[in-house]
């Protein structure tokens, strides 16, 4: 009876983490690669133990299979009550010796090691495991590294869950412009609180990876994989920043004249690492009324998107220009990418809307741009570009107008 309750608890936690039918999670794939490299094993897997199956959430093989619990090594191991577990030769140890993954019916696994993934509530979610087709011993240091990586996996899952909850909450709050406008102070307070909830697990991930780098003698390949894992953490940090930028965009700070030429110069300097192959043309831009930090966020999103979505077979060609008319300045960022279909041109400015699901992102950047521009008495949109791509534009009062 107790075992059934434990299984139900685990199933509920795994469903809350949305990993049983999840898309590929690159950060976890990199941790699997790193675990295999550190332990010198052929394969590593991040396995979630559901009611009926053991789900390969991430693997070095990238297979994402479901294995019946009765055949899996991970299912009995999580019930042993130990943080780490090793099998030097599975043919000589029950209950593994009779597994079809040992007998040759499905595979011929010989050695195995695992570290339990334990959630914040104490529920064991599954294992980070490594295995090989030859008998191998795993050292104490390697087991410690596995345990550290398994804790990092849980922190990543926690962060993904919090990100989803934050995005859902922001989406609800953004559903009504009137309600959102009247609740800016509450939204900013909410953003400040959720910032702590997101930053804490991210910091824990970074610290765990730093400790791993310092305490374990890693090969060159493992160092590279660790670098990829830390890069993933930095990208998560960027996503958190985008979400919080959206929450506080268009605050009560007064409008002032802003030199867009200076803003664009700073943006291009910040994005320099991603603009190596891009051709950027910038015309002199009129000054507008707004806030420099907000307009820097708008221009950075528009320029970064223009590069990211440019035609994959051509050098990105970005054109930035502005014009004044009747007290209003229109700034345009045009690219040579595939363009935005007419039926999507309004929707792309909504929260969590992505024009191209093949390109990484959360659909936050353009929503942030729209929120900033509209709260500053402006407009934003997208038209076809003369170069065949998209022309994203926004309009704001010219600097000579009354705020």
Hey, how many other C-beta atoms are within 10 angstroms of the C-beta on 268? Answer: 18
18-41, pLDDT tens digit by residue?
Answer: 888 867 888 899 999 999 999 999
Q: How far apart are CA 273 and CA 333, in angstroms?
A: 19
Residue ranges of domains in the chain: 2-148, 156-248, 256-397
Q: How far apart are CA 36 and CA 163, in angstroms?
A: 28
204-228, pLDDT tens digit by residue?
Answer: 677 677 777 776 677 777 777 777 6
Contact 393, 302 (CB under 8 A): no
Structure tokens at 30: 């990199």
Q: How far apart are CA 54 and CA 74, in angstroms?
A: 8
Q: Which CATH class is domain 256-397?
A: alpha beta
170-194, pLDDT tens digit by residue?
Answer: 666 655 544 545 555 555 555 555 5
Domain 156-248 falls under CATH 1.10.287: yes
Please give the average per-residue pLDDT across 258-285, as a whole number: 86
Contact 143, 127 (CB under 8 A): no
Helix (H, G, I), strand (E, B) or coil at 332: strand
Per-residue burial over 161-198, b = 16 or more CB atoms within 10 Å of its CB, e = otherwise: bbbeebbebbeebbeeeeebeeebeebbebbeebbeeb
Please give the average per-residue pLDDT across 352-357, as a whole number: 48
Write the CB contacts of 337 (distance below 8 Å, at least 6 apart in sequence). 306, 309, 310, 311, 316, 389, 390
Q: Which CATH class is domain 2-148?
A: alpha beta
């Amino acid at each position: 009876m107790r075992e059934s309750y434990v299984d139900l608890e685990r199933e509920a936690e795994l469903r809350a983490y949305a990993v049983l039918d999840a898309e590929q999670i690159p950060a976890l794939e990199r941790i699997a690669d790193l675990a295999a490299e550190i332990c010198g094993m052929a394969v590593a897997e991040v396995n979630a133990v559901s009611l009926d199956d053991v789900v390969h959430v991430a693997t070095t093989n990238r297979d994402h299979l479901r294995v019946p619990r009765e055949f899996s090594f991970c299912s009995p191991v999580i019930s042993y009550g130990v943080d780490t577990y090793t099998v030097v030769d599975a043919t000589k140890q029950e209950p593994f010796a009779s597994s079809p993954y040992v007998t040759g019916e499905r595979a011929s696994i010989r050695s195995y090691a695992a570290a339990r993934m334990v959630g914040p509530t104490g529920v064991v979610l599954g294992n980070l495991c490594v295995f090989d087709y030859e008998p191998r011993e795993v050292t104490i240091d390697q087991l410690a590294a596995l345990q550290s990586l398994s804790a990092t996996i849980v922190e990543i899952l926690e962060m993904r869950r919090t990100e989803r909850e934050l995005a859902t909450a922001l989406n609800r709050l953004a559903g009504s412009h009137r309600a959102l406008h009247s609740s800016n102070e509450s939204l900013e307070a909410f953003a400040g609180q959720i910032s702590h909830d997101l930053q804490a697990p991210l910091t824990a991930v970074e610290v765990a990876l730093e400790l791993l780098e310092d305490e374990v003698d890693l090969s060159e390949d493992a160092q590279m994989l660790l670098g990829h894992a830390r890069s993933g953490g930095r990208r998560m940090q960027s996503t958190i920043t985008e979400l919080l930028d959206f929450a506080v965009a268009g605050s009560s700070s007064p409008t002032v004249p802003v030199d867009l030429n200076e803003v664009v110069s700073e943006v291009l300097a910040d994005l320099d690492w991603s603009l190596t192959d891009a051709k950027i043309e910038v015309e002199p831009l009129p000054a507008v009324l707004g806030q420099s930090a907000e307009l820097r966020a708008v221009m950075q999103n528009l320029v970064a998107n223009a590069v990211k979505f440019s035609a994959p077979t051509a050098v990105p060609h970005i054109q930035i220009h502005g014009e004044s008319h009747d007290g209003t300045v229109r700034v345009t960022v045009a690219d040579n990418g595939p363009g935005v279909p007419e039926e999507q041109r309004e929707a792309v400015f909504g929260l969590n809307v992505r024009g191209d699901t093949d390109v990484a992102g959360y659909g936050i950047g353009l929503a942030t741009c729209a929120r900033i521009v509209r709260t500053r008495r402006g407009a934003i949109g997208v038209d076809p570009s003369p170069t065949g791509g998209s022309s994203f534009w926004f309009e704001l009062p010219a600097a000579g107008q009354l705020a």
